Every structure is written in structure tokens, then in C-alpha cells.
Amino acid sequence: MNIGDVSAHSGLSVKTIRYYEDIGLVSPLRGGNGYRAFRKNEQHKLAFLGRARSLGFTIDDCRTLLALYEDETRASADVKSIANEHLEKIENKIASLEAMRCTLSHLIDECAGDHRPDCPILKDLCGCQDLE
């Protein structure tokens, strides 16, 4: 299967798929014309990668997960541990974004948003020194 079709099936862009080959995540064969020829195996891997990435796993996590996926003697504990670490990072990120959202929405509420220069948002950002 050519890269374009694989792209359509996996939802990954052609560029991304080539990039994943560059960094060694997949190794498609090559036809006589130099075109990449993807076997079922690689198509599955790419779909796997697409889903893992959409869950926010890093490329490095993906590499490990893929290796576990292919290792029939894996322990599910190894997978779970990666997932748990990742979950923790996600939760931290959510917490920090929530904090930003909270501050920001308060500031927005307080700002008149009209033609006048007076602005609580800028006041907060400048640390409440005088606004020139």
C-alpha cells in the first residue's frame, strides 16, 4: 500500500508518516520505483501510533509502547506504569491550565473592554506599578 492510502486510513499526514520512518518507528519496504510499500503490520503500527499520540503520549512513550505491544511476554504492569506516569503529567497540565483560566477569566470579567485605556488586565500584568 502506498503512503497516500496509508495516510487516508490512519489519519496521519503523509509528512508525519515519513517522519515516523525517519525516526525509526516504522520501516516500510521499498518498491522498485523507490515508493514506500506498507504491509499490514506497518499499517497497524501507524494506527497504533495515531491513537497513542492522540492520547498525548510522547513519541518516546510510543516507542516503548510499541515495543511492549510487539512483545508477547510483556507484563501489563509495564504498560500500566507508563500510562500512569502519563496520566499524572496530564493532570498536572490540567491543573496549571485551570489556574491560568481562573486568573484570566477573573481579569477579563473586571475589564470594561471599551475605548478607554484603563485596564485591569494590564494592571495585573505590570504587577500593579503605576500604568505609566
Strand partners for 36: 30
Among 11, 13, 95, 122, binds DNA (CB under 7 A): 13
d(CA 61, CA 82): 7
Closest distance of CB 31 from its own copies, Å: 25
Binding to DNA by residue 16, rule CB under 7 A?
A: yes
Binding to DNA by residue 127, rule CB under 7 A?
A: no
Binding to DNA by residue 15, rule CB under 7 A?
A: yes
Per the structure block, which three cell numbers stand in for 127? 504587577
Q: Which amino acid, residue 27?
A: S
Per the structure block, which three cell numbers stand in for 132? 505609566
Among 21, 48, 63, 64, binds its own copies (CB under 8 A): 48
Q: What angle do CA 107, 109, 115 make, to 5 degrees?
A: 90
Q: In terms of CB distance, is 3 or 65 closer to DNA? A: 3
